[in-house]
């Protein structure tokens, strides 16, 4: 599938050109040329005869441009149509579930957002805004980074690779029960348990395997430390985690909520906070992001593990007790031992959106946690916001974790690598490769 960076040409005639004309949607109706004398219809298509200034005589042209706003083709492409054209069909959908979380007109069918009822740009009593709430929530969209950082952290980044942060350190849970189930140092589970026990959170959105398949991820809302333990460990497949946020808001009275997710899921949560919850002061969300280099399509990964990695071993995917990616290799652990493979062999299973994703260290979370930069069995913790710092200070004071040395350069190296890969992938897609 062809990938493109979204909304490259944001405004005016450039936008009309890239989104309508180049996509063969223009039928030459000439309305754009009627509303602006800088445009002429030449051989059935609009052409600019004078520079577009987003300024028309005495009036401003608005954010998008009068030509765009009046284009009947563009008019039709708002709400779900817009989401489909710009995100889903372009291979940029991360499968986060944020579009479907609050709109019953969208469902995820095999992980793909699908319109199941006509989009009416209206969500219960709420108008869906200029482009549609589904589009505004989408994890593949972000406001300008400095704007977002100022809103959530009160400052902008000094470190291009890691984003805004107050402190980075290595840590491990002091609770042997948590360590038994967790992926690395059990820091995510420690944060969640501490938060619930101390009423900082009333509910937590985590990802865990379904009842019938331990490796098929689904979001769940949990309220006890026991339930948190049941969701510990990493599932390397895309989870529509933000559906869990929708569920908790729509079906419960819980207001203090923690969301655990990959960097894309954290971005969607930030979008929702801005667009849907901006005026809902009683809803208090804490975001815990995990580091993420890439994620995999569930059916492709399952097939690979069952039919290639475990082939001839007598072991099935259901026998796998843990999966992990370390030092460039994917590992599947079973009672019969560790089966591993070069991570490059899993390239075909990487979700297309991950190839252009630039965020490794969950740059917009309150707290980010990963394994890179720490010894085996430990986690790297990034404290970013004041809220994250308060929670983490409480955990440290309560003796719930122990601290160790972190290799920040290692985290930066991987973050840089991810940004470079994404830039190359975007360039290749632009060039039509
Ligand atoms: C898809 C994916 C890719 C990752 N890639 C890297 C990487 O390249 N480098 C790196 O250093 N770290 C990576 N991580 C993070 C790492 O695997 C651990 O999650 C992290 O170190 C926290 O460990 P812990 O022991 O503190 O977490 P635990 O206490 O074990 O808790 C893990 C939490 O992760 C959540 N979770 C599990 N699977 C998913 C999922 N598919 N989507 C969303 N949430 C999930 C669970 O809800 C659970 O709460 C990745 C995580 C995921 C989910
Ligand atoms: S969220 Fe709004 S714009 Fe999007 S599909 Fe639903 S009704 Fe349409
Ligand atoms: S990235 Fe998330 S919000 Fe955007 S289309 Fe995909 S599932 Fe919907
Ligand atoms: S690589 Fe990016 S898009 Fe893919 S799962 Fe990780 S954060 Fe999401």
Would the CB of 283 count as within 6 Å of ligand 3?
Answer: no
In CATH terms, the fold of domain 78-141 is Alpha-Beta Plaits (3.30.70)
Assess contact for 264 and 352: CB atoms under 8 A: no
113 alpha carbon, closest ligand: 3
Asked whether 374 lines ligand 1 (CB < 6 A), one says no
What angle is formed at CA 403 by the lines to CA 402 and CA 404, rounded to 5 degrees? 130
To 10 degrees, what angle do helices 386-397 and 187-197 make?
90
Does the domain at residues 298-349 carry the CATH identifier 3.10.450.750? yes
Kindly state if the Cβ of 292 falls inside 6 Å of ligand 4: yes
Query: What DSSP element (H or E) covers 40?
Result: strand 39-42
Q: Say if ligand 3 is within 6 A of residue 88 CB.
A: yes
- Residue with CA at minimum distance from ligand 3 atom 3: 138
Distance CA 227, CA 206 (A): 9
Task: Measure the CA–CA gap between 230 and 235, rounded to whole angstroms.
Answer: 12
State the CB neighbour count (10 A cutoff) for residue 32: 26
In this structure, which ligand is nearest to the CA of 102?
2
Q: Is residue 111 within 8 Å of residue 238, measured between CB atoms? A: yes
Distance between Cα 303 and ligand 4 center (Å): 21
Q: Is 29 touching ligand 3 by the criterion CB < 6 Å?
A: no
User: Ligand 4: which residue has its CA nearest to atom 5?
Assistant: 295
The pick from 179, 265, 290 for probing ligand 1's pocket by mutation, whose C-beta has the most ligand atoms within 8 angstroms, reads 290
**Ligand 4 atom nearest to 96, measured from its CA:** 8
**Angle CA 193–197–199, to nearest 5:** 115
Longest dimension (CA), the chain: 76
For the chain, first and last CA: distance in Å? 10
- Ligand 1, atom nearest to 178 Cα: 29
For ligand 2, what atom is nearest to the CA of residue 78? 3
Domains 1-76 and 78-141 share a fold: yes
**Can you give the pLDDT of all 433 residues of the chain as single tens digits?**
233 333 334 578 988 988 789 878 899 999 999 999 999 999 999 999 988 887 776 677 876 788 988 888 876 678 998 899 889 999 999 999 999 999 999 999 999 999 999 888 877 777 888 789 999 999 999 889 999 999 999 999 999 999 999 999 999 999 999 999 999 999 999 999 999 999 999 999 999 999 999 999 999 999 999 999 999 999 999 999 999 999 999 999 999 999 999 999 999 999 999 998 887 889 999 999 999 999 999 999 999 999 999 999 999 888 999 999 999 999 999 999 999 999 999 999 999 999 999 999 999 999 999 999 999 999 999 999 999 999 999 999 999 999 999 999 999 999 999 999 999 998 887 665 4
Residue 184 Cβ inside 6 Å of ligand 1? The answer reads yes
Rounded Cα distance, 373 and 14, in Å: 43
- Residue whose CB lies within 8 A of the most ligand 3 atoms, among 3, 84, 94, for a mutation test: 94
Residue of minimum CA distance from atom 6 in ligand 3: 93
Q: Which atom of ligand 3 is nearest to the CA of 137?
A: 3
Query: Rounded to the nearest 5 degrees, what angle is found at the Cα of 415, between the Cα atoms of 410 and 417?
Result: 95
Q: Which class in CATH covers the domain with range 145-295+353-430?
A: alpha beta
State if residue 187 touches ligand 1 by the CB under 6 angstroms criterion: yes
Q: Which pTM does this prediction carry?
A: 0.88
Regarding the beta carbon of 185 and ligand 4, being less than 6 Å apart is answered no
Provide the residue ranges of all domains of the chain, joining segments of one domain with +: 1-76, 78-141, 145-295+353-430, 298-349
How many CB atoms within 10 Å of residue 89? Answer: 12
Q: From atom 8 of ligand 4, which residue's Cα is the shortest distance away? A: 264
Helix locations, 202-347, DSSP H? 225-230, 242-251, 263-275, 298-304
Residue 76: per-residue pLDDT: 67
| Domain 1-76 grouped into CATH 3.50.50.100 | no
Q: What is the pLDDT of residue 401?
A: 98
Q: With beta carbons less than 8 A apart as the criterion, state whether 6 and 86 touch.
A: yes
């Amino acid at each position: 599938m062809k990938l493109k960076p979204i909304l490259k040409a944001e405004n005016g005639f450039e936008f009309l050109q890239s989104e309508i004309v180049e996509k063969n949607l223009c039928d030459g109706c000439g309305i754009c040329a009627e509303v602006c004398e800088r445009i002429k219809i030449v051989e059935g298509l609009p052409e600019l005869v004078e520079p577009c200034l987003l300024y028309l005589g005495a009036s401003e042209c608005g954010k998008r441009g009068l030509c765009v706003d009046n284009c009947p083709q563009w008019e039709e492409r708002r709400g779900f149509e817009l989401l489909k054209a710009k995100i889903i069909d372009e291979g940029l959908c991360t499968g986060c579930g944020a579009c479907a979380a609050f709109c019953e007109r969208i469902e995820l069918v095999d992980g793909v957002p699908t319109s199941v009822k006509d989009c009416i740009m209206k969500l219960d009593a709420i108008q869906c805004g200029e482009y549609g709430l589904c589009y505004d929530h989408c994890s593949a969209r972000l406001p300008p980074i400095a704007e977002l950082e100022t809103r959530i952290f009160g400052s902008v980044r000094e470190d291009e690779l890691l984003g805004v942060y107050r402190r980075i350190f290595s840590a491990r849970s002091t609770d042997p029960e948590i360590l038994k189930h967790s992926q690395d140092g059990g820091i995510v589970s420690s944060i969640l348990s501490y938060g619930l026990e101390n009423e900082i959170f009333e509910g937590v959105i985590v990802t865990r395997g379904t009842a019938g398949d331990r490796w098929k991820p689904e979001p769940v809302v949990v309220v006890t430390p026991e339930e948190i333990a049941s969701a510990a460990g990493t599932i390397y497949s895309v989870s529509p985690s933000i559906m869990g946020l929708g569920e908790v808001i729509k079906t419960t009275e819980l207001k203090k909520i923690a969301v655990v997710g990959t960097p894309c899921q954290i971005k969607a949560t930030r979008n929702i906070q801005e667009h849907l919850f901006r005026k809902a002061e009683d809803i208090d969300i804490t975001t815990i992001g995990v580091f993420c280099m890439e994620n995999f399509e569930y059916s492709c990964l399952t097939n690979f593990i069952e039919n290639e990695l475990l082939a001839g071993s007598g072991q099935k995917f259901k026998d796998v007790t843990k999966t992990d990616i370390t030092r460039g290799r994917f590992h599947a652990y079973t009672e019969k031992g560790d089966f591993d493979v070069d991570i490059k062999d899993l390239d075909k299973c990487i979700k297309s959106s991950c190839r252009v994703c630039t965020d490794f260290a969950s740059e917009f979370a309150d707290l980010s946690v990963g394994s890179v930069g720490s010894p085996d069995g430990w986690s790297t913790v990034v404290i970013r916001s004041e809220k994250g710092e308060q929670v983490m200070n409480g955990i440290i004071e309560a003796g719930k974790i122990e601290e160790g040395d972190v290799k920040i350069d290692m985290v930066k190296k991987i973050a840089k690598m991810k940004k470079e890969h994404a830039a190359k992938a975007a360039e290749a897609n632009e060039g039509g490769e």
